[in-house]
Structures are given as structure tokens and as C-alpha cells.
């Protein structure tokens, strides 16, 4: 008969065998899990999209400094035993390591809080904050773009946490161009894919407003033509689904230009934001229904088609909602 002490020793030995040296080294870090089709260089290119001041290459030690306090390292290949020990998806073949501080909000997320990645469930005591929030935002965005996953660092009292971002959750497009498309021109591009699109009517100032403007500024000419500094085009999506809502194309001078755009284009720039607003404001929630996903895919196809037209028509540069560069050919599939 085996004593309890001997049984405990056997169990501990089995646990040690189940673990691997690589798994033990990786447990304390957030990991970006790569499949066999993705290279570390693909990850570095996307990092450069978000952080263009950082050259997309590893140093002699196989590391990339992301900020003063955080760094990315090439990580390690994952064999079957390590995949099992880390409890990550079977398709994982490599882990890129993110070494960053552990910054957390001091209170749990509110009960009403929900996000598409499920961070509220992964961090029940307090959401990532400051530097950790920025680093997780970066690697989750990369995982979304490349259809990958993120394994969060082990923490006492919490189970293994693997986040697989929904790659279709971010639908919007941001286009930046030196050229201003007049509303009628932009509308003609949009109507190639949405014939019922229309321009939002602009408010017309009444006589009292014009009179006050003249008093405030003696040089004000109420008869001068109105010069637009922005406009919106709308596409009702009822034909797709009653809950699909609208697409709004917001056109204005960009108040802020993403660094990857500013690094290669002179400002000021015009921003064309192709923005989806579903009727029930569900698009950023987790655990979407099959019906919602089907509807969202149809909306995304329309957003991409319109984005490609505007991108070509304005001669601009496009970013997806995660902040990564996107071309008209990619949008056209």
C-alpha cells in the first residue's frame, strides 16, 4: 500500500514532468502566441505601425525596447509538451514575450463594464492600467490583426488566462489625405456601394444669429458663401438588419494624426472616418451571437468597399481600427 506521503511525492513528480523548462521560463510574462504561418518579423512590422519611432528589428540580445519600462523579446518555440503545460491552443508554435510592469486599477471593473476582449473577466480585481494597459492594448491589437492569441502571465489565485481577440470586432476605418473631397464627390464614391447614402443637412443660421455675428465682428459678411470645415455622409443599414444601425462617414481636418501617418505625410491632413454605429450599441461587447456576427460581417464588407473607394479617390493612407496600415487592395479582399 502506498502511503499518503509517497502518493503526494508521485503527484508532485508527475506535475514536474508535465511542466517543461520553457514553460517555467515563460509563465511570468504576457505572451503573444504565434501559429506556424506567422513570423516574429510580422509582429515587429505591426509594432512599427503603432510605434514608428522604434525600428522593427531585434537587437543582438533578441529584444526590442518598446518603452522606458517595457520590452519585447523573440521568445521561444513551443513543442507539444510546452503547449500542454502552458494550456495554450494546440496551434501555438511560438511565444513572443512581453516584459512590462504590472499596473492595475485599484478597484474591480464595474458590473456593467464589458469589452470585446474580455479583460473584465481576466482581471476581476482591477483592470490593467498605465504601462501594462498600453502594452496589452498593443499585443491584443496585433493578435486581432493576425488572428492569434495572448496568454496572460500567471498570477496567484487566478487560472490560466488565454485571450483570443475577435478579429472581426473592429470595423471602422480611418483614412488620411492631403486632399479635401467635396461632399458631392465623396458621396458619388460612397453611392457606388450604397446608392441610398445621403449627406447630413447643414444647419442654416437664422437672422438673429447673423445679426449678432455682425455686431461681434464688423468685418463679418453674412452674404459670403459658407466654407465647410467638415461634413457627414450617412448610410442607413436597415436592408442588412434592423439592428445594424448606420454607417457615418465623418470628414474633417484631422485634429490628431497617428504617428505612422505623420512620419510620412505633411500636415495638415483631412481625416475620413468610416464609422459604424449599430442600433443597440453592442459592437464592443464580448460573446456576440451568431446572428450579430453575420450582420457585422456584412457591415464590415460594406465599410471596406467604401473605404477602398475613398482611399483611392483621395489618394490617402488608411488605418484599420486597431491602428495598422491597410491598403485599398487589402480592403477589396
183-226 pLDDT tens trace: 999 999 999 999 999 998 765 555 665 565 565 666 555 555 55
| CB distance 229 to 254 below 8 Å | no
Q: In the chain, what are the domain boundaries?
A: 4-163, 173-331
216-262 pLDDT tens trace: 666 555 555 555 679 999 999 999 999 999 999 999 999 999 999 99
Average pLDDT over residues 268-279: 96
82-129 pLDDT tens trace: 999 999 999 999 999 999 999 999 999 998 888 889 899 999 999 999
Check whether 290 has a pLDDT greater than 60.
yes
b/e sequence 196-228, b meaning 16+ C-beta within 10 Å: ebebeeeeeeeeeeeeeeeeeeeeeeeeeeeee
CA distance 292 to 289: 5
Amino acid at each position: 500500500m502506498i502511503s499518503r506521503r509517497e502518493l503526494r511525492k508521485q503527484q508532485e513528480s508527475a506535475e514536474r514532468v508535465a511542466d517543461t523548462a520553457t514553460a517555467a521560463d515563460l509563465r511570468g510574462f504576457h505572451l503573444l502566441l504565434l501559429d506556424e504561418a506567422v513570423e516574429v518579423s510580422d509582429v515587429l512590422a505591426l509594432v512599427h505601425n503603432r510605434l514608428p519611432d522604434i525600428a522593427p528589428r531585434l537587437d543582438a540580445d533578441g529584444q526590442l525596447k518598446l518603452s522606458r519600462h517595457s520590452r519585447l523579446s523573440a521568445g521561444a518555440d513551443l513543442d507539444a509538451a510546452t503547449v500542454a503545460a502552458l494550456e495554450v491552443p494546440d496551434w501555438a508554435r511560438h511565444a513572443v514575450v512581453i516584459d512590462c510592469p504590472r499596473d492595475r486599477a485599484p478597484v474591480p471593473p464595474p458590473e456593467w463594464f464589458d469589452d470585446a476582449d474580455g479583460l473584465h473577466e481576466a482581471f476581476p480585481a482591477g483592470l490593467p492600467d498605465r504601462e501594462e494597459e498600453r502594452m496589452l492594448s498593443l499585443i491584443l491589437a496585433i493578435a486581432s490583426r493576425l488572428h492569434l492569441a495572448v496568454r496572460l502571465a500567471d498570477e496567484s489565485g487566478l487560472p490560466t488566462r488565454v485571450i483570443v481577440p475577435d478579429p472581426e470586432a473592429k470595423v471602422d476605418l480611418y483614412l488620411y489625405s492631403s486632399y479635401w473631397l467635396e461632399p458631392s464627390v465623396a458621396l458619388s464614391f460612397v453611392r457606388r456601394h450604397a446608392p441610398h447614402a445621403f449627406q447630413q443637412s447643414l444647419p442654416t443660421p437664422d437672422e438673429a444669429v447673423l445679426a449678432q455675428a455682425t455686431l461681434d465682428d464688423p468685418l463679418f459678411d453674412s452674404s459670403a458663401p459658407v466654407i465647410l470645415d467638415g461634413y457627414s455622409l450617412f448610410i442607413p443599414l436597415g436592408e442588412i438588419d434592423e439592428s445594424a444601425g448606420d454607417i457615418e462617414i465623418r470628414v474633417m481636418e484631422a485634429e490628431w494624426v497617428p504617428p505612422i501617418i505623420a512620419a510620412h505625410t505633411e500636415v495638415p491632413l483631412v481625416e475620413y472616418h468610416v464609422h459604424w454605429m449599430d442600433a443597440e450599441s453592442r459592437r464592443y461587447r464580448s460573446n456576440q451571437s451568431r446572428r450579430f456576427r453575420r450582420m457585422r460581417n456584412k457591415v464590415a464588407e460594406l465599410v471596406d468597399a467604401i473605404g477602398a473607394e475613398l482611399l483611392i479617390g483621395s489618394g490617402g493612407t488608411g488605418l484599420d481600427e486597431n491602428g495598422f496600415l491597410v491598403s485599398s487592395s487589402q480592403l477589396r479582399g
